[in-house]
Each structure stands twice: as structure tokens, then as C-alpha cells.
Structure 1
Amino acid sequence: MDVLMKLDRITKTYHMGEITVNALRETSLDVFQGEILVILGPSGSGKSTLLNIMGGMDLPTTGEMFFLGENLSRAGDKRLTGYRRNEIGFVFQFYNLIPDLTGRENVELAADLVDEPLKVQEVLAEVGLAERMEHFPSQMSGGEQQRVSIARAAVKNPRLLLCDEPTGALDYQTGKLILALLVKINRERGSTVVIVTHNTPIGDMAHRVVRMRDGTITEIRENAAPLPPERIEW
């Protein structure tokens, strides 16, 4: 596989008064085009910090991040905004939908950010919301809201889809439906999907699994036979 993103000896240090927090320590990782990558680790392991750097929402303290060969480690706000807008789709644990907009309007807002978005109604239909797209988030279940969130990310047809605990606020069966949607986007759209989670069995659906602890990668494992999400149990 071709390398989509390269992280080279990334560190991230936060200063909180007199306390220094080393969220990432000398972390290196290649992310390949078209793969599903699951990053596992307990709270405080650095996995969400790593995801934020991948998404251009934060910059490393030291080290370098390359996307398609371009060094974004010290990019300015304008370049990072363009990177997030055109290359990245985000799926969050708590959906982050705009409450005063319908599902369709939430997705349209994302579609308006890029030059060649997918068709909004088609994407909403693909995630099973053809009959619910005119409802507001408060009128939707958690699973429906997360499907809107996935549609909002997918409508931009991003190269990289970043998911931070996408099943964390959902029940077991709904969580598996959301994972199945992410696999579908990976297969049909070719988007690279990175999922950060503390839920170890989700790693069984990935092409590769990264384990983190105390701000470092402790293991990278290839999965020769990823399981369909419906066969995953936790």
C-alpha cells in the first residue's frame, strides 16, 4: 500500500501551570491509503492527541507529520484549515451536530466546504436516513445522530476519515451498525479510516491495529483476516 500519512518521532507536551504533561513521546507511524487502522489504548494513552495531530487540529511539539509527502508539522492556520476542509472527515463520540439544523442541513453545511462533494441526499440514503433527513438532532436517536455525523464526514469524500470513539455513546447493536457503515465507506469510497477506541474487540475489523500506552506506541499488528463488524462481540 502507498503511504498516505507519515508521523516521524512526534511528541506533544502540554504545560498546565507548573505541571508538564507528555501526551506523546517519540511516536512514529505510517498510515496507508485505503486501510482501516484501529488505535487502541486506555484513557490517557495519547490516542486522541495523536488523532488530533493527524487531523490538523493540533500541531506536534517536536517531530514531523507528512500528508502525501507534504510536511504539515509547522503549517500555518490557513494551510491547516484547507487540509481539514478538503482532506479530512471527522466523526466524534458525541456527534457534534448543529442542533438548529436538520440532518440534511448539517450534511449540506459540510458539502458546501469542498469543490466536489458527493450528493447530500444520496449519502444520507446510504446511511439509512432517507426518511429521517428533515428531522432535527433532538428528534433522532443516538444511532441516527451518529449516522448523520458519518454522512457529514463522508459527503466531502475525504481521503482520511478520523473517528474518535464513534461507538462510545451507543448501545451494542447500534455500535455495530455504525462500524459496518465505516467499513462500507472504506470499501466503496476508498477512504482511509482511522478509529480511536478503548474497546479492544473493534480491532478485529481493522487491517492493522496500533496499541498505545503512556504516550507511546507499544505494538503495531497486521490483521490478515479482518472480521465483519456484525461478527465482533464485546
Structure 2
Amino acid sequence: MMSKMPLLRLQQVSRRFVMGEVTVQALKETSLEIYPGELLVILGPSGSGKSTLLNIIGGMDAPSTGDLFFAGENLSRANEARLTRYRREQVGFVFQFYNLISDLTARENVELAAHLVTDPLPVDEVLREVGLINRQHHFPSQLSGGEQQRVAIARAAVKKPQLLLCDEPTGALDQQTGRRILDLLSRINRRYGSTVVIVTHNTVIGRLAQRTVRMGSGSILEIAVNPSPLPPERIDW
């Protein structure tokens, strides 16, 4: 059951980009609460504002207006050093195209992230959790797409982040491999208590979540509670 106190809260957050003489309103006045330990899916087509929202939640982008609170602290007023510490210590990122360091092995990619925090999970434990202990000395080019994504998830999870943010984590994968990635994210959510936020255009992935946020044209159109989330193996697309 979700705590009544949000881990993260957005209050009337907007984001504008100026491109020459044109101003693009990527995110309109948006308010959202995200709770400790929940699995939340943000849905929407390209251009809906979902990735902009994720970037603001993760401290990779700053709101043009509005406030972002994390554990009661207003990060909208934080300096770059504080935001860097937030990204390093509280947030893990998983991207569609993995973003691994090509000349480091799977283990070394995970170890590099572990060194960023003072109390990481044991690297061996995380590599076993993602099923890569026998592939740990392989380089990214020697791994399949699904294996590379599992390394990316291990790299994010080893920091024990309070927030695990995933931008289209199954977008470059076939359905069977994508299901394995969703199962892994669900296990990390349950085992380590990380709050997992998945951004995707694939609406059926929303059936995995405790809540879904549907976006369009830079705004939240709907927030829905899912009383019976499906296990990943029952999700088809």
C-alpha cells in the first residue's frame, strides 16, 4: 500500500524551450505526486511531454516555472552541485539505447556506478539479480540488446536509488526480451523498494503499474489507479 506522504511532488511545473523566434511549451502547468515504493507508468505519444517530465523528475532539466519537491526539499531552488548530488545519490537512470561505456565490461560499467555512492549494493548480488554473473566480463559489443539493457538496469540499481527512472526501456527490444526487462524492473521494485517510473508510448505496459499517468500536448490528461496490476509475463504487445 502506498504511503500517504509523496516521495516526490511536482507543483504547477512547466517547461518552455526557445528555438529561434519560436517558443515551444513542452510541459504545461503540471502537478503530480509520486509515492515511495510504487511502480508508475507515464504514457503518451511522441511530443506529449512525457520525456520532458521524466527529465525534470530526474534533475536533468529544470522547470521554467513551478516547483519540484523531493522528500520535502524544493529542488527547483537547488544549485547545480545539489542537483548533481541528487542525480548521483537518489536517482538511477535507464535509457532506451543503454548508454553503456563501450570499452568497459559489464561488471566495470556496474562498478563505476557503485563508486558514485557511499553505500552501494554488492556488485555480484546485482549481477546475479539481472542474470549476468556469467557474462560479467563481456564488453557491450559482445552482448545482445536485452543483455545490454540488463547491464543498464544493474548499473542503475547498484546505487540503491530511491527513484529508478526508465525512458522507453523496452523500445529497442522484441516482445519476449521486453517482457524480461519489465519483469526485472518489477523485481527490483519489490526487492529493493525503489520507486520505479517507466515512460513509454506502449500503452499495454501501463497494465503492469499501480498507477498510470496519460499525457498529451504537454499536459496530464488522466491519472488512473490500477487495482490489479498484471505480471509482466501476461503483457502482450
What is the TM-score of this pair, normalised by structure 1? 0.99
1:127, CA displacement in angstroms? 0.3
Tell whether 2:156 aligns with 1:165.
Answer: no
Given that residues 59 and 74 in structure 1 are in contact (C-alpha distance below 8 angstroms), is that contact kept between their aligned partners in structure 2?
no
Given that residues 7 and 65 in structure 1 are in contact (C-alpha distance below 8 angstroms), is that contact kept between their aligned partners in structure 2?
yes
1:74, CA displacement in angstroms? 2.4
In structure 2, distance between residues paired with 1:104 and 1:128: 12
Tell whether 2:139 aligns with 1:131.
Answer: no
In structure 2, distance between residues paired with 1:222 and 1:32: 13
- Residue of structure 2 in register with 1:194 after alignment: 197
In structure 1, distance between residues paired with 2:200 and 2:53: 12
Query: Which residue of the other structure, out of 154, 159, 174, is the alignment partner of 2:177?
Result: 174
Given that residues 13 and 22 in structure 1 are in contact (C-alpha distance below 8 angstroms), is that contact kept between their aligned partners in structure 2?
yes
1:44, CA displacement in angstroms? 0.2
Tell whether 2:223 aligns with 1:220.
Answer: yes
- Deviations along 1:107-142, one digit per CA (max 9) or x if unpaired, are 000000000000111101110001101000000000
- Residue of structure 2 in register with 1:112 after alignment: 115
Query: Which residue of the other structure, out of 144, 148, 162, is the alignment partner of 2:151?
Result: 148
- DSSP-derived class of the 2:7 partner: strand
Any gaps of 5 or more consecutive residues in structure 1? none
Query: Which residue of the other structure, out of 87, 91, 103, is the alignment partner of 1:88?
Result: 91
Count of paired positions: 234
In structure 2, distance between residues paired with 1:26 and 1:79: 24
Query: Which residue of the other structure, out of 188, 192, 195, is the alignment partner of 1:185?
Result: 188
Query: Quick one: which amino acid aligns to residue 129 of structure 1?
Result: L
Identity of aligned residues (%): 69
1:77, CA displacement in angstroms? 0.7
In structure 2, distance between residues paired with 1:22 and 1:5: 23
- Residue of structure 1 in register with 2:7 after alignment: 4
- DSSP-derived class of the 2:10 partner: strand
- Deviations along 1:183-211, one digit per CA (max 9) or x if unpaired, are 00000100000000000000000000000
In structure 1, distance between residues paired with 2:203 and 2:103: 35
- Deviations along 1:64-101, one digit per CA (max 9) or x if unpaired, are 00000000012111000000000000000000000000
Any gaps of 5 or more consecutive residues in structure 2? none
- Residue of structure 2 in register with 1:208 after alignment: 211
- DSSP-derived class of the 2:126 partner: helix
- Deviations along 1:141-183, one digit per CA (max 9) or x if unpaired, are 0000000000000000000000000000001000000000000
Runs (4+) of structure 1 exceeding 4 A deviation are: none
- Residue of structure 2 in register with 1:55 after alignment: 58
In structure 1, distance between residues paired with 2:113 and 2:221: 36
Mapping 1:12-23, distance limit 5 Å: 12-23=15-26
- Residue of structure 1 in register with 2:125 after alignment: 122
In structure 2, distance between residues paired with 1:179 and 1:149: 13
